[in-house]
């Protein structure tokens, strides 16, 4: 066992002495040591109950013949950090989480791992760390939240609360209605109930084979979710007790090029968050898989968009997808396409191939998960746009864009920060026919690549969602909907063309052409470039200063350089 380095031989008597202080007995030193990476955090709705979930996993590991060692990671709640300087720490936290996993598992030479994440950067951070450690690892998330409901039957989610702020600002709802939405939008523990980033990543864990079926859709705080935890714990011990299985199920044997491909296929079929592009590019780099934005557009052209979930369709949430057959039913339907876009021969952590896992998963409600021939679109739900404004690419969630916004030309209204944009939008600076430009919010320029849910929600709440577009070198919450284009690369801080846009410039967006163009004469742009100087923000945080020095742009996954 890998853990023999800390527990076997006379020279390890001091090590065993320390382990005995934690409660270990003689018989434990012949058992596999299993790390439990838990993201239990009181302030995050998807995480405040994960200490109880970890206890279930620990009890099951002991019963199955392993020795569990729980440790924790940090986590940022994007909704709570949204709209203020706290959001600067959100994306950088992914790197800290990956580093924590690597540190804990390698410093103590543990044999295998169970990861218990739930929300946004915590899932990809754990995936990145698990790839570095490369021991058998199972992911079992905390599960999605139930959708909320008003007394009149209106279905709610977190997005409803953000958009209600814009509606209240415009006088469209009163304070009583705003308070009711606030109180009922998030009715229980779990990751926010739509196909936002957390649930997108948890479904992709199923697609990649590193989690059990149901990981992305079984509701949090349910008996079914607890049974999933027990199954995961039993399986990891079964693997760790068998030397051949330990070698077979090393993490990189499962999360490889084909698995990354499958993740993007499912992402397109379900219209996941634009953040999945950012995270999956980073995961691909950790897996040493050559995957770029061009590859994503190729996949999108081969996959039908068969499931619309909030925010794309506000009445459908993760509980509905589970009732309709879950992620396995989505994958089985995709697998029926003649182009065979899904790799069915990939290994899953439960031992069967992906094809074997999904073979009997059928759609139980074709209104929720559509068949290929009746898809919302014969193209995937995400699109990479290119043009002079995005030479290295930009990302659009086509699944959440109104038809009339898919071909749009408007005049620019520019803001050099999210805070400036929020003030400008609330103050009436943005009108129908505008393209809002928010820049210096990329990975380097932010630093930290803030999510833009507050300004996008204000635009929707003010009734401008089908006549105003928004582009940014920052990113969006998975809850964002509308003509919102993020991850513009190169970013403003590195001299990207987005830095040279001026108020009144015409910007053209074409989904059919996959283009994002600034309609300004090249000689004018050359003159602007000659005068341009990057905005230098004061960064007080030592961590964020270090992050800004090392981080790549969004087209490269916003990963940290390991060489300078």
Q: Record the tokens describing residue 77, joined without a space.
A: 């709640």
Which residue in this structure is represented by tokens 């103590």? Answer: 108
Q: Is 219 exposed, middle or buried (0-12, 13-18, 19+ CB in 10 A)?
A: buried
DSSP letter for 316, please.
-
Please, which residues have CB within 8 angstroms of residue 1's CB and are 6 or more apart in sequence? 32, 33, 111, 240
Q: What is the CA radius of gyration of the chain?
A: 23
Answer yes or no: are the C-beta atoms of 157 and 185 closer than 8 Å.
yes
Q: How far apart are CA 556 and CA 490, in angstroms?
A: 10
Edge-to-edge strand order for the sheet containing 33-38?
Answer: 67-72, 33-38, 112-116, 137-139
Alpha helices, H only, 341-385 = 354-358
* SS3 call for 556: helix
Where would I find the H helices in 372-417? none
Residue 515 designated active-site = no
Cα pseudo-dihedral 303, 305, 310, 315, rounded to 10? -150
Residue with tokens 């950012």: 278
Contact of 255 with 287, CB cutoff 8 Å: yes
65 class by beta-carbon count within 10 Å (0-12 exposed, 13-18 middle, 19+ buried): middle
Rounded CA separation 261/283 (Å): 12
121, 90 Cβ separation under 8 angstroms:
yes
Q: Which of 93, 477, 489, 552 is catalytic?
A: 477
Q: What angle do CA 448, 525, 508 make, to 5 degrees?
A: 70
DSSP state of 451: B
- Strands (DSSP E) along 155-306, which ranges? 155-156
Which distant-in-sequence residues (6+ apart) come within 8 Å of 74 by Cβ?
39, 41, 93, 96, 97, 100
Residue 434 forms beta bridges with which residues?
A: 411
Residues with catalytic function: 477
């Amino acid at each position: 066992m890998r853990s023999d380095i800390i527990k076997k031989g006379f020279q390890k008597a001091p090590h065993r002495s320390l382990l005995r202080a934690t409660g270990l007995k003689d018989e434990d030193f012949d058992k596999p040591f299993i790390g439990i990476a838990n993201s239990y955090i009181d302030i995050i709705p998807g995480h405040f109950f994960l200490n109880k979930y970890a206890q279930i996993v620990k009890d099951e590991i002991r019963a199955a013949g392993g020795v569990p060692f729980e440790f924790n990671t940090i986590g940022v709640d994007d909704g709570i950090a949204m709209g203020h300087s706290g959001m600067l720490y959100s994306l950088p936290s992914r790197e800290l989480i990956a580093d924590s996993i690597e540190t804990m598992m390698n410093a103590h030479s543990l044999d295998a791992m169970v990861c218990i994440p739930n929300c946004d950067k915590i899932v990809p951070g754990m995936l990145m760390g698990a790839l570095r450690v490369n021991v058998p690892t199972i992911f079992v998330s905390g599960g999605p939240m139930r959708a909320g409901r008003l007394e009149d039957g209106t279905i709610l989610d977190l997005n409803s609360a953000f958009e209600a702020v814009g509606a209240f600002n415009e006088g469209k709802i009163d304070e009583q209605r705003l308070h009711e939405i606030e109180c009922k939008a998030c009715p229980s523990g779990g990751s926010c109930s739509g196909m936002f980033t957390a649930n997108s990543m948890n479904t992709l864990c199923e697609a990649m084979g590193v989690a059990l079926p149901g990981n992305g859709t079984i509701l949090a705080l349910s008996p079914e979710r607890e049974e999933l935890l027990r199954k995961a714990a039993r399986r990891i011990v079964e693997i760790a007790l068998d030397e051949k299985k330990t070698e077979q199920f090393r993490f990189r044997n499962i999360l490889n090029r084909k698995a990354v491909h499958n993740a993007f296929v499912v992402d397109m079929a379900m219209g996941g968050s634009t953040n999945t592009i950012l995270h999956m590019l980073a995961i691909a780099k950790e897996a040493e898989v050559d995957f770029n934005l061009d590859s994503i557009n190729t996949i999108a052209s081969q996959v039908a968009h068969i499931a619309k979930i909030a925010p794309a369709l506000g009445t459908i949430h993760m509980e509905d997808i589970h009732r309709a057959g879950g992620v396995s039913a989505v994958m089985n339907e995709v697998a029926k396409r003649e182009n065979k876009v899904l790799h069915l021969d990939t290994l899953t952590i439960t031992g069967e191939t992906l094809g074997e896992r999904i073979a009997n998963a059928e759609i139980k409600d074709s209104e929720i998960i559509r068949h290929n021939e009746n898809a919302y679109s014969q193209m995937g739900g995400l699109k990479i746009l290119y043009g002079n404004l995005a030479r290295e690419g930009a990302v659009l969630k086509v699944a959440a864009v109104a038809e009339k916004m898919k071909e749009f030309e408007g005049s620019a209204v520019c803001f050099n920060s999210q805070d400036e944009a929020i003030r400008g939008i609330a103050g009436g600076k943005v009108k129908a026919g505008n393209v809002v430009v928010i820049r210096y919010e990329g990975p380097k320029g932010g630093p930290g690549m803030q999510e833009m849910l507050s300004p996008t929600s204000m635009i929707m709440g003010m009734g401008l969602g089908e006549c105003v577009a928004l582009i940014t070198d920052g990113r969006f919450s998975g809850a964002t909907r509308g003509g919102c284009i993020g991850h513009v690369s190169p970013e403003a801080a590195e001299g990207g063309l987005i830095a040279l846009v001026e108020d009144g410039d015409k910007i053209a967006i074409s989904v059919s052409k996959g283009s994002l163009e600034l309609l300004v004469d090249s000689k004018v742009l050359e003159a602007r470039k000659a005068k341009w100087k990057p905005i230098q923000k004061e960064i007080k945080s030592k961590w964020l200063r270090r992050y800004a020095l090392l981080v790549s742009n969004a087209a490269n996954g916003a990963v940290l350089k390991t060489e300078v």
